[in-house]
Amino acid sequence: MTATIFDPISRRTLLGTGAAAAGLATAGSIVPFRLAIGAQAKVRIGILLPYSGTYAMLGNAITDGLKLRLAEAGGKLGGREVEFVIVDSQMSVPKAPQNTQKLIAKEKVDFLVGPVHSGIAAAMAKIVGRAGNPIMIVPNAGSNAVTGPLCAPNIFRTSFSNWQPAYPGGKVMADDGHKTAVTIAWKYGAGIQMMAAGTSSFEKAGGKVVKDIQVPFPSVEFQANLSEIASLKPDAVFAFFSGGGAVKFVKDYAAAGLKEKIPLYGPGFLTEGVSMAQGAAAEGIKTTLHYADNLDNAANKAFRAGYKKMYGKEANVFSVQGYDTGSLLLIAMDAVKGDSGAKKAMIAAMEKAKIASPRGDISFSAAHNVVQDIYLRKVVKGHQNLMGVVAKQLVDPARGCRLT
């Protein structure tokens, strides 16, 4: 891990490396615009992701995916070397504005990649959207607001909106013949928005949510709630938890003997990247998400093989999101031949981008949110196996966005 956490890199060192690279660059045909005015030669990508705490796995998977994509393309963006400025978000919403400001004003990054947490996403989007600079790519956080009321020309999202994977999930539950359901999720942006989306499609299809249980974030003591579910006896349960909370919830749910009696559904984060730790408790759980391990397309096969070779472990949806963030960066910088000052041209190219992603074909909506297929998956021996497509090229409604 290159942990360049705001080391006091002096202007001199930067200029030094800049001059050296300029010597090399003149040999080629591309002379980056920014270099001509004596700024930096390397493309600077600021990364604000969690590398400690509950969501550390997500931060690492995204970074690994991004680096794999850039390595495949020769390690360069638009012909220029890449330099990462990596900051650990520590999942702290209060620190988010300061970290964002530092990356923009002090580190003068050309691109900003992050975050994982919806709350941090909103804080970042406010600052970056207002400043109009740099171009920000969200590789995970699903906060509907980022491509809703907070949407901006320089903000893109390669991951999902909270609405996207959850909305088709409610219908799946109804299609399986369930009439009543209990929803349970952590009480914060992602949980609330996903439960609302799942509930609306479930009730539209004739179901009825009898109770919405909100668990304080990030509490993992579920016993009281499980007893409550047992006494309510719904046909099904629709849940959102992620990371360590997902492991514990799914295990507790099975241990309480509920798994066989009341089937568990939810957005794919319930089992994604954690099904190995959940073991038998996760077997057979059906979830909806924009990725499945065994998607049958060339990009996915190459991606999974490459990822395993480079990092020695299996890829998951988070690494796919990082990988596609890399693809979008390549499209932007190729379109302007490395001139990272040409923001408008880059944004135009990103808006038109069509990427053959490991998750299938993706593009971007008017609000700059990813347009993608949502799959139904089932956990089989710890893998997220494809059962079918539940929504083709699903576009987030982007309520409140002025770009649409």
Partner 1 sequence: MDLTAFLIQVLNGVQYGFLLFLVASGLTLIFGIMGIINLAHGAFFMIGAYLAYSLTALVGNFFVAVLLGVFVMVAVGYLIERFAISFLYRRDHLYQVLLTYGLILVFNELQKIIWGTDFHSVPVPALLAGSVPLGSTQSYPIYRFFISLVCLAIAAGMYLVIARTRLGMMIRAGAWDREVVQTLGINIGRLFAIVFSLGAALAAFAGMIGAPVSSVYPGMGDQVLIISFVVVVIGGIGSVKGAFIGAMLIGLGDTFGKVLVPNLASFVVYALMAAVLLWRPQGLFGRGT
**Chain positions contacting partner 1, by CB under 8 A:** 51-54, 56-57, 59-60, 187, 213-216, 218-221, 223-228, 230-231, 233, 243-244, 247-248, 251-252, 255-258, 261-262, 273-274, 277-279, 313
Shortest reach from residue 241's CB to partner 1, in Å: 11
First to last CA, the chain: 39
Query: Is the Cβ of residue 158 or residue 225 nearer to partner 1 in the bound state?
Result: 225
Shortest reach from residue 377's CB to partner 1, in Å: 18
Backbone angles phi, psi at 357, to 5 degrees: -85, 160
Task: Determine the Cα–Cα distance for residues 5 and 345; give it in Å rounded to an integer.
Answer: 30
Query: Is the Cβ of residue 60 or residue 357 nearer to partner 1 in the bound state?
Result: 60
Contacts of 384 (CB under 8 A, 6+ apart): 268, 271, 272, 275, 287, 289, 291, 292, 293, 294, 377, 378
Shortest reach from residue 306's CB to partner 1, in Å: 19
3-state secondary structure of 179: coil
Q: Which two tokens stand for residue 130?
A: 């207002």
Query: Is the Cβ of residue 176 or residue 221 nearer to partner 1 in the bound state?
Result: 221
Query: Three-state SS across 116-158?
Result: CCHHHHHHHHHHHHHHCCCEEEECCCCCHHHHCCCCCCCEEEC
Query: Is the Cβ of residue 101 or residue 219 nearer to partner 1 in the bound state?
Result: 219
Query: Is the Cβ of residue 31 or residue 277 nearer to partner 1 in the bound state?
Result: 277
Query: Is the Cβ of residue 62 or residue 350 nearer to partner 1 in the bound state?
Result: 62
3-state secondary structure of 180: strand
- Chain-centre distance for alpha carbon 20: 36
Query: Is the Cβ of residue 133 or residue 180 nearer to partner 1 in the bound state?
Result: 180
Residue among 128, 90, 88 nearest 109 (CA): 128
Shortest reach from residue 257's CB to partner 1, in Å: 3
Shortest reach from residue 86's CB to partner 1, in Å: 14
Backbone angles phi, psi at 256, to 5 degrees: -80, 5
Shortest reach from residue 334's CB to partner 1, in Å: 32
Query: Is the Cβ of residue 253 or residue 375 nearer to partner 1 in the bound state?
Result: 253
Query: Is the Cβ of residue 53 or residue 149 nearer to partner 1 in the bound state?
Result: 53
Q: Which two tokens stand for residue 173?
A: 């539950």
Shortest reach from residue 133's CB to partner 1, in Å: 32
Block residue for tokens 């509950």: 54
Backbone angles phi, psi at 384, to 5 degrees: -90, 95
Q: How many residues does the chain have?
A: 404
Shortest reach from residue 142's CB to partner 1, in Å: 20
Yes or no: say if 151 and 136 are a contact pair by the CB < 8 Å rule.
no
Q: Which two tokens stand for residue 140?
A: 């995970």
Other Cβ atoms within 10 Å of 254 Cβ, number = 19
Q: What is residue 53's DSSP assignment?
A: S
Amino acid at 199: T
Shortest reach from residue 369's CB to partner 1, in Å: 28
